[in-house]
A and B are shown apart, each in its own frame.
Chain A
Amino acid sequence: MKFLKQNPKVLRDRSVKLCIDFLRTVFIITLSYLFVYPLLFMVCTAFQDPTSVNDPSVILFPKKWSLESVKEMIEVLRYWDSAWLTLIIAVTSTLASLVSCSLVGYGLSRYKFKGQNLIFMLVVLTIIVPPQTILPSKLLNFQFFDFGGLLSLIPGKPSVNLLNTVWTFVLPSLFATGLRSGLFIYIFKQFFSGLPKELEEAARIDGCSAMQTYVRIIIPLAVPAFITVTLFSFIWHWNDLYSSSMFFTNDVKPLMPLLNSLDTLLERSSIGSSAYVARTYKASATLLTILPPLILYIFTQKYFTESIERSGIVG
């Protein structure tokens, strides 16, 4: 009691701090549970023996581990082909977006020219128009692709069919109008605006051309922005559902549309899609689908969590 009378303020501050610490810990543990538990549950279900999936005494960890459903789903999804296709799409489109979007962002942020504001408004327009609005006509354009009328100059071959090829993703990305390219242009533009103006002047005085300045001076300084865009572009291409299910009509598709039509796939296979029996199979398919980005995340986690802060998007 004597202590209380002596230091009321210090004591109050300390107890408030303790309270906040406690609440924060509880909150973080609760949310971590909310984020991690479903994943853990999915992994456990995926490796469970399919016959014992309805055993009510199994709470989380299976009594009998088995690879059966994973093996089965590798066949049903045609996993190696589909995953390879998804990987190729994600990697090539990401590379294409990196080149095109960084150039456009650089032009928009470091140069002044007539129509610059108009072009930026158009970039914003590509961000806010739902991709589905242009998907049907994009589909037709790719089915009968004529390079904007160039192919019609050659007689005998009016168009080529680009559906079911990676070009449906890579071509728009090469021209900075691919999946969420507008956002990438925005990220680069914001980053480049933060660099000191004197860079280009010094380079020009030393005799660098615009392209040389860009490659030798700007790119090395913009590594954080490039990392951010690489990670997000990869993840978004991997997780894309709408465009990939439109542009790929064969059996070998990117993984997301396959996962979306999982019920049909299970129905067609010997497994069937009745809710409870199919649970381990569905969990295995989901695990197989998110495994590659998850592995990427584990190794690049540091860049993810620090990327946006360092790339100065918000600054």
Chain B
Amino acid sequence: MKTKKQLGLTTRLSWTGFLFTLPFVIGFVLFFLRPLWQSLTFVFSKVDITLDGYITTFNGLQNINYIFREDATYTTNLIESLTNLIWQVPLIVVFALFFAIIMNQKFRGRVFARAVFFLPVIIASGIILNIIQSDAAASSMLSGEVVSGGTSSQSDALKDLLANSGMDSKVISAITMITDNLFDLTWKTGIQMILFLGGLQGISPSLYEAAEVEGATGWESFWKITLPMLMPITSLNVVYTIIDSFTDANNKVMLQVMNNAQLVRYGWSSAMSWCYFLLIAVVLSLVFIVFAKIQRSGDRIKY
């Protein structure tokens, strides 16, 4: 005696699937969509805190006007953090790939080397990096020797050397910018290196064996096998490096956003972070387009 019509198996399964994702759906509405919508309204309004809540009054584009026209540092910070992103992300990803390839080889002391190379994952925090870096720099100034990468005396010497060899000043400043930040960049490769390592171990050894039989050198099989096989992880790593820079303690735009929020200037703070986010969204979509193109051209070669 059936009182209720039994639901079909697929319908039941699809409901179960939805129930599993329900925590996220609720959380998305409560802790993401609602604050996101609110902060969007904050961009166009004046926010006043009262005893038991807050009042927003619409004031048009005043906040946007303020951050770009009157705030002394926002525009420069925005440009700086974007340029940093553009030249640092490729370098970090290339470094990570390089480290991963080395860590993937078999050699004595590999366990120890791995333990050391993953240290940055644990201490990947901008504040701590700043402190230990300035620490080492201060001591090198005291004892008159260069302790770790990125101290001024070292890059001055490099500048002189390059200038004497007749290089263009723009090229020189680009090179010294990279050497000055070498320390920071290597410290930011932790997670990306782990991801690449995972990817490298996923490549079937038979591919390399086949290439060797056909007479390919190690160099050739790197460009023809390793790199194409790692493309999906490379795109993942590029995206991860970009989103990781949001929470970097040296990201000046984000520090400014936080400071303004702590000073209860919610309108300005929201306007600043939304403009930053829109620019990042443009960068991310460019990344997606580029990697989709690479993937497609790779597929064409295969077939």
Contacts and interface: CB of A to CB of B under 8 A. Distances in A.
Contacts of B68: none
A220 interface: no
B120 A35 contact: yes
A290 B115 CA distance: 16
Which of B13, B99, B128, B197 counts the most A-chain CB atoms under 10 A from its CB? Answer: B128
Which of B19, B21, B261, B270 counts the most A-chain CB atoms under 10 A from its CB? Answer: B21
Nearest to B10: A112
Main secondary structure of the interface of A (DSSP, over half): helix
Contact of A241 (B27, B127, B270): B127
Nearest to B274: A133
B116 interface: yes
Which of B14, B122, B149, B274 counts the most A-chain CB atoms under 10 A from its CB? Answer: B122
Contact of A113 (B15, B24, B147): B15
Contacts of B13: 111-113
Contacts of B117: 31-32, 35
A38 interface: yes
Contacts of B224: none
B115 A241 contact: no
A174 B24 CA distance: 9
Contacts of B124: 239
Contact of B198 (A137, A158, A313): A313
Contact of B273 (A42, A59, A132, A297): A132
B23 interface: yes
Nearest to A41: B136
A177 B28 contact: yes
Main secondary structure of the interface of B (DSSP, over half): helix
Given A28-B102, A313-B198, A314-B199, A135 B24 contact: no
Interface string B106-117: 010100011111
B30 A34 contact: no
Contacts of B197: 308-309
A259 interface: yes
Contacts of A10: none
A300 to B, nearest CB: 10
A136 B39 contact: yes
A104 interface: yes
Given A32-B113, A259-B128, A140 B54 contact: yes
Interface string A259-291: 110100000000000011001001100100110
Nearest to A54: B142
B303 interface: no
A114 interface: yes
B30 A140 contact: no
Nearest to A134: B35
A108 interface: yes
Contact of A141 (B35, B144, B261): B35
A19 B300 CA distance: 38
Contacts of A314: 195, 198-199, 202, 232-233, 236
A299 to B, nearest CB: 12
Interface string A27-46: 11001101111110110010
Given A36-B119, A175-B26, A24 B102 contact: yes
Q: Which 9 residue pairs across A and B have the least CB separation, nearest first?
A: A111-B17, A175-B27, A107-B20, A113-B14, A177-B27, A137-B38, A134-B35, A130-B246, A137-B35
Interface of B: 13-21, 23-32, 34-36, 38-39, 42, 49, 52-54, 99, 102, 105, 107, 109, 113-128, 131-133, 135-136, 138-139, 142-144, 147-149, 183, 186-187, 194-195, 197-199, 201-202, 232-233, 236, 239, 243, 246-247, 249, 254, 257-258, 261-262, 266, 269-270, 273-274, 276-277, 280-281, 284
Given A210-B16, A283-B132, 13 more contacts: A31-B186, A35-B120, A39-B119, A108-B17, A112-B13, A132-B273, A140-B54, A148-B29, A245-B258, A246-B261, A309-B194, A309-B201, A314-B236
Interface of A: 21, 24-25, 27-28, 31-32, 34-39, 41-42, 45, 54, 56, 59, 100, 103-104, 106-108, 110-116, 119, 122-123, 126-141, 144, 148, 158-159, 171-172, 174-178, 181, 185, 210, 214, 235, 239-242, 245-246, 256, 259-260, 262, 275-276, 279, 282-283, 286, 289-290, 293-294, 297, 301, 304-305, 307-309, 312-315
15 contacts: A42-B131, A128-B243, A129-B32, A130-B246, A134-B35, A135-B258, A136-B42, A136-B261, A139-B261, A148-B34, A172-B31, A175-B23, A242-B254, A309-B197, A314-B233
